[in-house]
Amino acid sequence: MNRKNISIEISKDHPAYQWAKRQSDSVNAMGHIGTHIDCYTKIPLEATYTTPVHIINCSEAMPTLAQVETLNLSGKSLVLYTGNFEKNGYGNSNYGAKSTVLNSDVLDSILNSSPMFIAIDSYGIGAHGDEHISFDKRCEENNCFVIENICLTKVMLGTLDSLEISFDPTSASTGKRCDVIAVSDEQLGKEGAACEL
C-alpha cells in the first residue's frame, strides 16, 4: 500500500497566507487557503474518512452531463483533475483565472449519485464569489462536501484507489483545513510530506 499526502501546506511567506492575514476576518480567511473543506451550513459527521474514488480527467474541459449522469458515486469521493495546480501552481493569478466551474445541471446530476466528497485540484467548482458559496451549500444539502486545492498530478490518475481525509471540525472558519492522503496499490510518485508552498 502506497500513501502520499496531496494536501497543500501554505508557509507564512506565501502570498496567499499574507493575503489571508490582511483580511478583516483573518480567522475565516485562513481557513480558505491551501487544502480545505468548505462547510457553510453543516460539517461532515466524522473527522476522518477513507473513501474509494472515481476520477474524471477534466483537464481539457469540465465534465458534461453525459459524463456524469450514469455514475454511481455513493460512498465515494469524486476526484476532478483539472490540471490547474500541476500547470499553474497554487494561489497565483493564472491559478485563479482558470475556469474549473461545473455547469449547474452537471452538479445536480453528480449530487443525485450521492458522493461523500468532491475533491478538486483547483479553487472550487463554482465561479469566484456568490456562485462558489452557493454551489458548496448545494453540496452540503446533499451531505457532500467540496475539498479544494489538492495537489494532484496526471501521473497519479491511473493508480489512485482511495482517499484518506481528515479535518478539524472545531475550526471556527467556514473553510476547515484538511489533510488528504492518496492511497494506491502502486507507486503514486515521490514519497514525502505534503505539497509545501
Confidence of residue 129 (pLDDT cuts 50, 70, 90): confident
CA 183 – CA 139 distance, rounded (Å): 24
Listed in sequence order, the DSSP H helices in the chain are 15-22, 26-30, 65-68, 84-88, 93-97, 104-112, 130-141
**pLDDT beyond 60 at 191:** no
Q: Say which range, 20-29, 56-65, 94-103, 152-161, has the weakest mean pLDDT.
A: 20-29
The predicted-structure confidence for 105-122, as pLDDT tens digits, reads as follows 999 999 999 999 999 999
Cell numbers given for 94: 493564472
Asked if residue 53 lies in contact with residue 161, where contact means CB atoms within 8 angstroms, the answer is: yes
Asked if residue 157 lies in contact with residue 186, where contact means CB atoms within 8 angstroms, the answer is: no
Q: Structural domains in the chain?
A: 2-184 (3.50.30.50)
pLDDT at 69: 93
For residue 44, how many C-alpha atoms fall within 13 Å in the half-sphere facing its CB?
25
Look at the alpha carbons of 104, 163, 169, 37 in this order and tell me if their dihedral is positive or negative: negative
Q: Say which range, 58-67, 76-85, 103-112, 186-195, has the weakest mean pLDDT.
A: 186-195
Burial (CB count <10 Å: 0-12, 13-18, 19+), residue 55? middle
pLDDT at 30: 76
The predicted-structure confidence for 27-53, as pLDDT tens digits, reads as follows 677 777 789 999 999 999 999 999 999
pLDDT at 122: 94
Residues 53-62 have a mean pLDDT of 96
Phi-psi sector, 112: left (phi>0), alpha (psi -120 to 50), beta: alpha
Residues 63-90 have a mean pLDDT of 94
* Cβ within 8 Å of residue 46, ≥6 positions away: none
Burial (CB count <10 Å: 0-12, 13-18, 19+), residue 168? middle
Give percent of the chain above pLDDT 70.
Answer: 94
